[in-house]
Structure formats: C-alpha cells, structure tokens
Amino acid sequence: MLFSSVSFIYYFLPLVLLVYFAVPRSLKNVVLLIFSLLFYFLGEPVYTAILVFSTVVDYSHSLIIEKFRGGIYAKIALVSSIIINVSILGFFKYYDFLAENLNLLLGTSIGTLSLALPLGISFFTFQTMSYTIDVYRGEAKAQQNILGLGMYISLFPQLVAGPIVRYKTIAEEIDNRVHSFENFAYGVKRFIIGLSKKVLLANTIGELSTIVSQVPDKSVLLLWMGAIAFSLQIYFDFSGYSDMAIGLGRIFGFHFLENFNYPYIAKSISEFWRRWHISLGSWFRDYVYIPLGGSKCNTVKTARNLILVWFLTGLWHGASWNFVIWGLFFGLMIAMEKAFLGRLLDKAPNPLKHAYVLLTIVFSFVIFSHDSIANGLNVLQGMMGLLDIPLVSWEAIYYLKSYGVMFVVSVVGSTPLMKQVFHRLQSQLEYKKIIPALETVAIFTLLLLVTGYLVDASFNPFLYFRF
C-alpha cells in the first residue's frame, strides 16, 4: 500500500488514528504493532512471516548480548544475529544475481528462483542489525518487551521505504513519547508536503522521464531532458516519502531524523552524499566505514575503505551490475576528492562547483536508471553528442514546452529558496498574524490537488520499492 494512495490516505490512516487515540496509553504500542503488521500484510501476505521472524531473532539475540555483555557469548550472539539477517537479505535479494553470474563465469547451470523481493527488506534488515550492534556496543539497552521491539521494527511510517530509524534514536519514545496538538499539526503538515512532492512533482516530472525512454527518435536535447527529469523525479519521490514518514512518525509522537537536506545545492560529491539519503549514509559510516578505520588510515587504505563502502552501497540498491558500477563510481569520486580533488574544488568559484556536482549526479543517475549498463552508456554517449542523432528534434521542443513550467517548479523546489522566503515572511511583524492562516489554507489546498490527481491518474510509481 502506497502512502500516496487514496486507500491509505482516506481509509487506512484515519482508521489507525481513530483507534490509536481512542485507546489508553498502555495499548498504543499494541495498536501500532497490529496496524503495522496489517499494513505489511496487505502488501506482502506471505513475507509478513519474515518480518516477524526477524523480530524474534533480534529480540532473543539482544537479550543474550545484554546478559553476557563483554563476554564470548555476547560476541557469538552478535555474529549469529548478523549472519541470520544478512542471509535472509542475501537469499531474497541476491540469490538469482549470484547464480546468474556464476553460471556465466563458470559455465554451471545453477537454477534461479525468481522470488519476489519482500517489501522494505533492505530497510528493516539494516534497522534490526543496527539495533543488535548498538546493544553490543553498549549504546542502547536491549528491549525487554518483544511487543515494543516488534512495534519499532514493523512501524509502518518507515517500514517499507525508510528512513532507516535506529533504535537508540527513538528508544525513549517507544514507552514515553509525548502526544500533543503541536506534534499532530506538524506531522499532518509534513505528511501533506511530502505527499505533494511525491504526487504533484515526482509523478509529473516522472511522466516525462518515462516518455523520453519510450520515444523512438531521440535527440541530444531530449536525452538531457529525460536524464534531468529522472534526477528530479527520484529526489522528489524519495525525499517526499521521507517527509511523509517523518510526518506520520510525529503524529504518533516519534521524532525521526531528517533524511534529505537539499542535496542539489551541494558543492562537492562528498557533500551531496551527506545531504542525500542521510540515514543510509550514516549507517554505512558508523557500521562499516569507521570500523574499517575510516579516514584515519593512510591514503591507500582510506581509498580502500571508501570503495568497499560504496560497493556495498551500490549493491544495497539492487542486485544488478549497474548499481554496483554506480556505487563504485561514487566511491572513486569521493576518494579522489579526499586525495586531491577537494583541494582544487576549494579554490574554484561556487558556480563551477555546483556545475561539477550536478553534471556528475545527472550522469550517474543515467547508469542508475538503466538495468543494462550498455543502454546507460549509450544514453550517455547520446547526451554528449557522440551518436548519430540530431541536436534538437520536434519531439524535444514539444515536450520542453509541455513540461517547461514543471521543470522550473521542480528545480526551484529542490532548493531551499521557498523555505527561506517563508521564514523571512514569518520574521516580519506585519505578516506574523496572517502566515499561520495562509499556511493552513495552502496545506489543505495541496491535499485537495493531490486527491484530485490520485483519483484521476494511473501513473503513481515509487522508485525505491525496487530496493
């Protein structure tokens, strides 16, 4: 069930809220657990058992870790938990990929299974792993109530698409969170803003990306339009979903950390990835990069650590070589920035820095968006004018006119400009009294526009369900 669906917005969510706020505090976690499992069951009836099994595994292992803290049994329990979680993820997500590549490399005939990927398995597996690791490190106490841990792992606002919420971030709020009108109002506002980014911006600009991929007669301009459209689509798609998750969490009293911070204003690739999918980047930093030695090693080992982390980051996104190449590319770019490129960028003017980042990101997303590396490279060649295609075509002009306004709105929306204008108006005395009323009207207008779109439209994908 998509957050950006009529069934979720007008049926599932109101029912959850009605029951949740009707029951006493002692039953609120139970209500969230039941509805979260129902939410997952409606999308994955069979694989719900995996979610429950993962909860039981990490609950039992964390208790052993805490009981034998600092001893060999604690270490064995940690290793066991990691192996079980990684094995489940690896089996469902990477078995066919491994089998196909072994068959090609060794001439074997290992059969593939063509299993559907359980929704959100990459997200909730990383959450459960971070929980047991933090308990082992002494950074979190083991949850004594399996219902509390089950609620944390299955919590529907962040279950299938993140952000990756670490247990220690909301541990106190599992049993002692605050419900208030301010939290509820902020949560509703944040949810509707994220919903609008997803539906009104990502879906609309995503239509152009899909159209470009299907137009038989390409041109250089058309390929650039498609690449930029996809880069904007995936940003508004995923950041919109993160906003919705953060908003839903706040409604129920949880404070999830931010997952995006205007990445397209970055001045280096390193900065871009500190602003994009922050929860994933910080997960790899804290549980892989730093334990390997991080950047406190010599240049060669630091580069090795970065390449390994980004190899895993690419592989996390999907069992396909295009994701691996995409990840290794960024590992190499960031290693180069740490070694020498960063010093050159420091001396460059800001427009050049932004151009460097934006071109790199747009090119990288071409590889990211094509399952075939050959197809992605072919598109890149076309964008650079290396194919026998025209510079401009009538199709490109037509779609540029049709989506020109949406391009401008999306580009402006990917920067903090509107937020800065809003905060400036808020700070001026003459606007302080009318801003809250205007904001409320704007939020509900957005909700009406989204509802109209969802009722009438059939194009409503979510890119990160693939991962």
Confidence class of residue 446 from pLDDT cuts 50, 70 and 90?
A: very high
Question: If you average pLDDT over residues 311-337, what whole number do you get?
Answer: 95
Structure tokens at 29: 């976690």
Q: What is the tens place of the pLDDT at every residue in 34-82?
A: 999 999 999 888 899 999 999 999 999 999 999 999 899 999 999 999 9
Q: What is the tens place of the pLDDT at every residue in 12-31?
A: 999 999 999 999 999 999 99
Q: Please list the active-site residues.
A: 317
Instruction: Give pLDDT, residue 429.
Output: 64
Instruction: Give pLDDT, residue 400.
Output: 94
In one-letter notation, the amino acid at residue 109 is: S
Confidence class of residue 353 from pLDDT cuts 50, 70 and 90?
A: very high
In terms of Cα–Cα distance, which of 78, 76, 50 is closest to 139? Answer: 78
Q: Compute the half-sphere exposure of residue 12: CA atoms within 13 Å on the CB side of its CA.
A: 23
Residues above pLDDT 70, as percent of the chain: 97
Question: If you average pLDDT over residues 244-248, what whole number do you get?
Answer: 97
- Whether the CA torsion 127, 131, 133, 139 is positive or negative: it is positive
Note the helical H segments in 44-176.
48-67, 72-106, 121-137, 146-154, 167-176
Q: Is the peptide bond before 163 cis (omega within 30 degrees of 0)?
A: yes
